[in-house]
């Protein structure tokens, strides 16, 4: 469970599914919010009755009770990762810091296929998240990793950079992480980002989510 802007994002499950031509049509539906990321294969599908084409790294967002229907697989099979989560907002907080949470039911984003520069990054993180989730119940370290990957996916889902591309952004983050690893005994500030890794604004926000 993680907080972003007075909201709590709770990862409910992460898993992989696949469809083959003999088993079509296939429906993917969730009572919670769901992110679907295509890992391999292509297909013709419908999202709430709207036709779309799914390809590797395609990202689909479903609000609660929305449905993705896969009608035709182009090739031998289609494989995708599904991440289900809930959103709780802080309704009030008393003087002792105790908070009252209310489950969010309104649309988080518009249901449908999402066009994003970070589709490959989201796809890679989703695949790692599924692996971590398999062991999260019995391994505290894997549970922490699953939550971190989940927040990484949400961060990139919400990102809409006006310049540069995902590879440049990821390179800057890797450089920042490498610097911190090599200099963790020093008093590190965001100012080092001005040297070789781009502007402070470009690096500090994504690093805070990492």
Sequential pLDDT tens for the chain (210 residues): 444 457 889 999 999 999 988 889 999 888 899 999 999 999 999 999 999 999 999 999 999 999 999 999 998 899 999 999 999 988 887 888 788 888 888 888 899 999 888 999 999 999 999 999 988 876 777 888 899 999 999 988 887 544 445 445 555 555 555 555 565 555 544 444 443 344 434 444 444 444
CATH 2.60.120.10-classified regions of the chain = 2-115
Q: Using the structure block, give the residue that is written with the tokens 């990202």.
A: 59
Give the pLDDT of residue 185. 55
Domain spanning 2-115 has what CATH number? Answer: 2.60.120.10
Closest CA to 206 of 158, 162, 163: 158
Burial of 203 (0-12, 13-18, 19+ CB in 10 A): buried
Sign of CA dihedral 115, 121, 123, 125: negative
pLDDT of residue 137: 74
152 and 61 Cβ atoms separated by less than 8 Å: no
pLDDT value of position 73? 94
Distance in angstroms (rounded) separating the CA atoms of residues 29 and 64: 8
C-alpha 207/C-alpha 190 separation (Å) is 10
């Amino acid at each position: 469970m993680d907080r972003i802007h007075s909201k709590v994002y709770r990862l409910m499950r992460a898993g992989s599914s696949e469809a083959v031509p003999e088993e079509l049509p296939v429906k993917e539906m969730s009572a919670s919010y769901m992110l679907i990321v295509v890992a391999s294969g292509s297909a013709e599908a419908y999202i709430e009755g709207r036709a779309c084409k799914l390809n590797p790294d395609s990202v689909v967002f479903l609000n609660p009770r929305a449905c993705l229907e896969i009608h035709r697989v182009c090739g031998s099979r289609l494989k995708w990762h599904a991440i289900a989560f809930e959103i709780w907002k802080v309704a009030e907080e008393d003087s002792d810091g105790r908070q009252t949470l209310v489950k969010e039911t309104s649309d988080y984003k518009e249901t449908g296929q999402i066009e994003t520069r970070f589709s490959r990054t989201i796809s890679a993180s989703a695949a790692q998240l599924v692996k971590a989730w398999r062991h999260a119940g019995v391994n505290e370290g894997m549970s922490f990793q699953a939550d971190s990957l989940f927040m990484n996916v949400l961060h990139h889902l919400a990102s809409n950079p006006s310049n540069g591309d995902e590879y440049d952004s990821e390179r800057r983050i890797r450089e920042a992480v490498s610097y911190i690893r090599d200099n963790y005994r020093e008093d590190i500030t965001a100012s080092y980002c001005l040297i070789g890794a781009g502007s402070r604004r470009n690096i500090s926000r994504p690093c805070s989510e990492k």
